[in-house]
Structure formats: structure tokens, C-alpha cells
Amino acid sequence: MLFYRVRIHQLSEMKELTSIIVLEEERSVDKISWTEDGQLLAVSTPRGNLHVYLTRLPILGDAHNTRISFLTSLLEVRKCARP
């Protein structure tokens, strides 16, 4: 199985590994680019594939009466009652 890993480190502590992105079926990486706000990381490969990763999830939520809802992942919204 072929794969390539992109490792992300905090600039303040290079020894600390923040995350590893595994690109399956890729032999190498051509270019890497961040959006200005640092929320998206784009990785292109020599084969022409483009992988885009969400590095930070913005805090999104709303409240109505006694209920609160907030986004906990790209696929999940959590609902709770206000105390």
C-alpha cells in the first residue's frame, strides 16, 4: 500500500507533533498551501489530485428558548437544554 504523510508541527515547539495527514495511494506531494485564516490546508500531488483539509472547526451555535445547538464536527450538531 502506497501512502504519503504530511506532518504538522506547532512553530513554538517543533518537537511537538500536532497532527499527521495520510494521503493514501500517493507517492509524493507537489505543493502545500494554507488559506490566510489557517482553517484550510490544500495539498496537491504530481498526479493532479487535490486534497483539502479543515484544520480548525469554527464555533457555530444557536439558542432558542431552553435549547442550545452547536456544531461539534462537520457531520454532527449537538443539542442540549440550558441549565
Q: What is the pLDDT of residue 55?
A: 77
- Which residues have CB under 8 Å from 65's CB, separation 6+? none
Q: Tell me: the pLDDT tens digits for 17-71?
A: 666 777 777 778 889 898 888 888 888 888 888 888 887 777 788 888 888 998 8
The span from the CA of 72 to the CA of 83, in Å, is 19
**pTM listed for this prediction:** 0.57
Residue 1 has pLDDT above 70, yes or no: no
